[in-house]
């Protein structure tokens, strides 16, 4: 949990100083994501699909900015200087486009999870700077100084799998053989998560696989 409070206390010289507490972290110096963060002067929080920035330097807290967020299930955030990093998730799906109709009329359906990382500038009015979408699901993240490291999990994508055309062992064995051939002919893009980076207007500026094959191990 994050303690989102700031209080003034008098020092030995009579001058006021600010003290505040942040997220209760497991390791000193390693920040963990939360729904509320503060730098002692501002509190940033998630509330019902909005990012709220509150100024706490005066006698009373004052909301200075509200930003409606995309419907991507944002649940966590980091705060670093004037930058807020939000973590969300979304699902997309639909019928698998088949090269030809199946004899049994079965239409496979797919659901694809994507991670949404949203960068927000709160130097003035809170504004989305860019968004990164990644194939997969969010696991966890940590921030050391200004560097954020995130763990994701993802499955293979882009496969038109073969399904048994009927009941019985023979139909199952035929489907297995066809799927083995599909895997043998697969490409790196079927296994390595893909990403898109979009600017504030939603235009894609960068895209590709998260890493090259020589960075993969098992």
Q: What number of residues does the chain have?
A: 218
Q: How far is 95 from 79, CA to CA, in rounded Å?
A: 39
pLDDT, tens digit, for every residue of 15-49? Answer: 344 566 666 677 888 999 999 999 999 999 999 88
CA 115 – CA 113 distance, rounded (Å)? 7
> To which residue do tokens 């293979």 refer?
156
Q: Which of 31, 4, 22, 35 is nearest to 147 (CA)?
A: 31
User: For 139, what's the count of Cα atoms within 13 Å in the CB-facing half-sphere?
Assistant: 8
pLDDT band at 2 (very low <50, low <70, confident <90, very high): very low
Choose the weakest-confidence range: 29-38, 114-123, 152-161, 205-214.
152-161
Q: Taking the CB of residue 181, how many other CB atoms lie within 10 A of it?
A: 11
Token digits of residue 61: 């807290």
Q: pLDDT by residue (tens digit) across 83-101?
A: 999 998 887 766 666 666 7
For residue 3, the model assigns a pLDDT of 40
């Amino acid at each position: 949990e994050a303690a989102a409070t700031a209080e003034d206390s008098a020092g030995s010289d009579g001058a006021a100083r600010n003290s505040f507490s942040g997220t209760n972290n497991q390791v000193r110096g390693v920040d963990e994501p939360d729904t509320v963060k503060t730098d002692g002067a501002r509190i940033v929080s998630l509330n019902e699909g909005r990012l709220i920035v509150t100024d706490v330097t005066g006698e009373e807290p004052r909301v200075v900015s509200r930003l409606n967020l995309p419907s991507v299930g944002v649940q966590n955030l980091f705060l670093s200087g004037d930058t807020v990093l939000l973590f969300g998730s979304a699902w997309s799906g639909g019928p698998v486009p088949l090269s030809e109709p199946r004899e049994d009329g079965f239409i496979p359906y797919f659901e694809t999870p994507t991670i949404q990382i949203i960068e927000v500038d709160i130097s003035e009015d809170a504004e989305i700077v860019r968004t990164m979408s990644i194939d997969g699901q969010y696991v966890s993240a940590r921030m050391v100084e200004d560097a954020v490291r995130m763990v994701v999990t993802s499955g293979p994508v882009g496969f038109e799998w073969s399904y048994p055309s009927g009941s019985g062992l023979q139909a199952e064995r035929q489907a297995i053989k066809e799927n083995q051939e599909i895997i043998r002919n697969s490409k790196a893009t079927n296994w390595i998560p893909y990403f898109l980076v979009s600017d504030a207007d939603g235009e894609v500026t960068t895209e590709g696989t998260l890493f090259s094959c020589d960075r993969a191990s098992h």
